[in-house]
Chains A and B, each alone.
Chain A
C-alpha cells in the first residue's frame, strides 16, 4: 500500500486565520480524498481531488472555505480558510488504490482553533 504523509501533524491556530495542510504520497495515484473527523465523530468526506481538474465537493462543503490543490499525481493540499473553533477537527487525506476498491489514509492533521 502507498505511504502517505501529512504536514503539519498538528497545529493550534487563531480564529480568522487560514491553514494549509499538505498530503504527500510515495507513488502516483489518480484520486485523493480529504476527510474531516470532528471530535468524537466519524469521518466525513470533504472533497475528491483529481489531478488536472477541479475538486469535487460534498454537500455542506464549499470551495471558498476548503480550497484544494492537486498539482500532480503525488501531492495535494487542503486549506481551511477563515477558521473558527468549529473547524477544530482531524483532517485526513486518503488515496485510492486497487482500482477503486480500497482507500488508504494518512496519519491526519490535528487542528485546534482558538
Chain B
C-alpha cells in the first residue's frame, strides 16, 4: 500500500531563508510524486512532479525537489523564501494510476 508522510504540519522561515518541506513515501512500485500548493481560499496548484525521469525536479516559483530512492524521500526546497510563498503544501504519490494519496500538508509561514 502506498502512503505519504509529511514531517511538520507547520514550518516557519524568515524571508530570504531556505525553505525545506519534508515528504517521505512508501510504495511497492516506482512511484510518481507530486508537490501541490494551496493558497488561502484557492484550489491546488501543481508545483512540480517526478515521473521517473531526472531525480532533481525543478518546478514553478523557484521550487525544486529531489527524488531519493534510498531514503524514500521527495523533499521540497527553495533557496530563498518570499512572503508570497506562505501557503499550504501537499505531497502526493501515485503509481502512475489515477489514484493519488495525499500527505496531511505542511503550512508554511514566512516571517518578515
Contacts and interface: CB of A to CB of B under 8 A. Distances in A.
Whether A associates with B in a native complex is yes
Interface of A: 1, 4, 6, 31, 33, 41-45, 48, 92, 94, 96, 100-108, 110
A40 to B, nearest CB: 9
B43 A108 contact: yes
Contact of B44 (A41, A101, A105): A105
B43 A42 contact: no
Contacts of A48: 98
Helix, strand, loop or mixed for chain A's interface?
strand
Contacts of B82: none
A94 B94 CA distance: 15
Given A31-B98, A92-B44, A106-B43, 17 more contacts: A41-B104, A42-B104, A43-B100, A43-B102, A45-B99, A92-B43, A101-B51, A102-B46, A103-B98, A103-B100, A104-B46, A105-B36, A105-B43, A105-B45, A108-B42, A108-B43, A110-B41
